[in-house]
């Protein structure tokens, strides 16, 4: 932890400055719209700030975006940050009422939307909301006089709202500052020692704030290239990786699973990759081992959350990786526990001391904010432990612990065992309400391609590896687990499957 103090941008508004000073012609972005240098991205960001200002956006106003992974969404995000506006990403996969809720709850004045999302919102939001479709946005960019004369944004003020699942049935908006958004990239680049040779590919939606944090806000600090891939089928993702010589790819476990079982994907296709990132809680050891054996590419498991923001820990590029762990915490954040719950705070010594910033709070929800924030420390809601080796082991969400007859059952533990059972490709475990015991252990299993899982064999494996009270008492086998845009399994849908079985 010794050494010189790290150089970290004040915020998103100056995150491109080092690359602009050292190599303005360097390649910043590769998108479907083409290649964009740092000088071009800088100019586009100024144009976007001016266009938003012309649309009436002022510092502190909310700008929402429901756009595909392409140049437009990156440019609009950087423009909003230079203006001091507050960014709100809206998933294009949401239903029209869900999109409208996020626009209304955030109080967005302008919504940049693709044509389907624009249609979804018409008549569902107030007339004061400007819905700007792509053609109108491009016209506004062309007409912009460039970056307006506004005060430099306050790097500790609200800068973005990331909506996440809420316990009341409505999403909560995690509010982040610009200073908080650039830190995970700074710490990751320092840990990895990355430079301009990095070509980081991401195939998760940039409407997710965490993905903005892990694309240009990370690669700019390495003066490297972000390859922005539109989420889609595995064949398309593989083509992007091969064609653009991606060195680090961040993808969901479901796509790793498909690659492992798709004979058309070869080692040569992924030969440029030096490592793959995947969420640790959703990537069983068996899947990681199978991917590494088939393609010869190291899979680095990570742990992060919306409120952090983004990345908290990651596997080292070499050395040990204990089973069921999610790497070591990045150097800017201290990970502790309170009653088994992971708590994140700033380090108190070393070059990164005092740097960490969690979310500022939940948008318009002071009680929810107070429940997770105490003196700058963030209660994550995740249960886990920091091993003596320094590796982080996450055992599950505090809210997802199954309490069966007074005994705690952690879904992650049961999922690890289930994932090793014959014929099981993927699985998820939830608590099923029970009048006598409170909850019983339920599991939904996705069959491994080309195999037919045998329920008797699966249950025998679980009884051999788990205490009796942890063994699933209700099992449903499906062709494919339901997954959201992040590749995660929505547990509410699993409960419906199990209750209806």
SS (H, E, C) 262-324: CCCCCCHHHCCCCEEEEEHHHCCHHHHHHHHHHHCCEEEEEEECCCCCCEEEECCCCCCCCCC
Q: Tokens 């948008």 identify what position?
A: 363
Q: What is the pTM (predicted TM-score) of this model?
A: 0.85
Output 349-353 pairs: Cβ under 8 A, ≥24 positions apart. Answer: 349/1, 350/1, 350/2, 351/1, 351/2, 351/3, 351/4, 351/5, 351/6, 352/1, 352/6, 352/187
d(CA 462, CA 472) in angstroms, rounded, equals: 8
Q: Is 145 contained in some domain? A: yes
**What pLDDT digit, counting tens, does each position of 197-237 carry?**
999 999 989 999 999 999 999 999 999 999 999 888 899 99
Percent of residues, the chain, with pLDDT higher than 90: 73
Average pLDDT over residues 154-161: 98
Q: Is 405 contained in some domain? A: yes
pLDDT at 498 over 80: yes
Domain of 101: which CATH number?
A: 3.40.50.980
pLDDT at 254 over 80: no
**What pLDDT digit, counting tens, does each position of 39-97 carry?**
999 999 999 999 999 999 999 999 999 999 999 999 999 999 999 999 999 999 888 88
Domain edge (last residue) among 128, 158, 178: 178
Q: Is 473 contained in some domain? A: yes
Domain edge (last residue) among 138, 154, 178: 178
Domain edge (last residue) among 114, 146, 178: 178
Give me the number of domains the chain comprises. Answer: 2
The two counts, helices (H) then strands (E), for the chain are 16, 26
Confidence label for 274 from pLDDT (cuts 50, 70 and 90): very high
Q: Is 72 contained in some domain? A: yes
Helix then strand then coil, in percent of the chain rounded to 5, is: 35, 25, 40
Average pLDDT over residues 370-377: 94
CA distances, 4 to each of 1, 18, 142, 397, 443 (Å): 10, 18, 44, 37, 50
Average pLDDT score over the chain: 92
Average pLDDT over residues 265-269: 97
d(CA 191, CA 251) in angstroms, rounded, equals: 20
d(CA 378, CA 397) in angstroms, rounded, equals: 15
Position 107 scores a pLDDT of 98
Q: Sheet harboring 248-250: ordered strands across?
A: 34-37, 27-31, 225-228, 199-202, 248-250, 275-279, 298-304, 311-314, 328-329
d(CA 280, CA 327) in angstroms, rounded, equals: 8
**What domain range is 138 assigned to?**
39-178
β-strand pairing of 62-66 with 86-89: parallel
Half-sphere exposure of 262 (CA within 13 A, CB side): 15
CA nearest 474: which of 486, 487, 462?
462
Q: Is 201 contained in some domain? A: no
Q: Is-contact 301 321, C-beta < 8 A?
A: yes
Confidence label for 167 from pLDDT (cuts 50, 70 and 90): very low
The torsion angles phi and psi of 494, rounded to 5 degrees, stand at: -65, -40
Confidence label for 465 from pLDDT (cuts 50, 70 and 90): confident
Q: Is 328 contained in some domain? A: no
Q: Which two tokens stand for residue 197?
A: 């040779």
pLDDT at 1 over 50: no
d(CA 313, CA 304) in angstroms, rounded, equals: 7
**What pLDDT digit, counting tens, does each position of 415-436 carry?**
888 988 999 988 999 999 887 7
Of the two residues 399 and 337, the one the predictor is more confident about is: 337
Q: Is 346 contained in some domain? A: no
Domain of 412: which CATH number?
A: 3.30.300.30
């Amino acid at each position: 932890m010794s050494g010189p103090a790290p150089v970290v941008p004040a915020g998103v508004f100056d995150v491109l400055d080092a690359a602009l000073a050292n190599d303005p012609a360097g390649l910043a972005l590769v998108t479907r719209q083409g290649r964009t240098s740092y000088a071009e991205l800088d100019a586009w960001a100024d144009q976007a700030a001016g266009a938003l200002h012309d649309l009436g956006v002022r510092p502190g106003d909310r700008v929402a975006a429901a756009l595909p992974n392409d140049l437009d969404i990156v440019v609009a995000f950087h423009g909003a940050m230079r203006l001091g506006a507050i960014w709100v990403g809206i998933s294009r996969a949401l239903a029209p009422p869900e999109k409208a809720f996020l626009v209304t709850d955030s109080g967005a004045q302008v919504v940049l939307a693709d044509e389907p999302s624009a249609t979804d919102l018409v008549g569902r939001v107030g007339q004061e909301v400007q819905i700007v479709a792509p053609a109108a946005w491009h016209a506004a960019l062309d007409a912009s006089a460039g970056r307006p004369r506004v005060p430099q944004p306050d790097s500790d003020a609200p800068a973005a709202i990331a909506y996440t699942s809420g316990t009341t049935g409505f999403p909560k908006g995690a509010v982040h500052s610009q200073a908080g958004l650039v830190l995970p990239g700074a710490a990751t680049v320092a840990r990895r020692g990355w430079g301009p040779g990095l070509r980081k590919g991401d195939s998760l939606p940039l409407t997710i704030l965490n993905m903005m944090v892990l694309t240009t806000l990370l690669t700019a600090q390495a003066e490297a290239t972000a390859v922005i891939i539109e989420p889609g089928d595995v064949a398309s993702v593989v083509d992007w990786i091969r064609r653009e010589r991606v060195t680090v790819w961040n993808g969901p476990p479901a796509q790793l699973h498909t690659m492992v079982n798709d004979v058309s994907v070869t080692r040569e296709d992924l030969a440029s990759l030096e490592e793959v990132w995947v969420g640790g809680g959703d990537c069983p050891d068996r899947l990681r081992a199978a991917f590494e054996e088939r393609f010869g590419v190291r899979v680095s498991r990570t742990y992060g959350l919306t409120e952090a923001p983004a990345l908290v820990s990651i596997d080292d590029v070499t050395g040990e990786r204990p089973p069921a762990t999610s790497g070591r915490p990045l150097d800017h954040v201290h990970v502790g526990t309170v009653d088994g719950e992971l708590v994140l705070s700033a380090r108190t010594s070393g070059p990164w001391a005092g740097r960490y910033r969690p979310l500022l709070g939940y948008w318009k929800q002071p009680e929810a904010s107070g429940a997770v924030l105490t003196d700058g420390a963030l209660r994550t809601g995740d249960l886990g432990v920091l091993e003596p080796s320094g590796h982080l082991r996450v055992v599950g969400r505090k809210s997802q612990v199954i309490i069966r007859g007074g005994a705690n059952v952690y879904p992650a533990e049961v999922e690890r065992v289930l994932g090793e059972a014959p014929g099981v490709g993927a699985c998820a475990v939830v608590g099923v309400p029970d009048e006598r015991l409170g909850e019983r252990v339920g599991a939904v299993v996705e069959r491994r391609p080309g195999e037919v899982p045998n329920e008797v064999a699966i249950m025998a494996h679980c009884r051999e590896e788990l205490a009796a009270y942890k063994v699933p008492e209700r099992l449903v086998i499906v062709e494919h687990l339901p997954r959201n845009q992040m590749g995660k399994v929505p547990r509410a849908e699993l409960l419906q499957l199990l209750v209806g079985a």
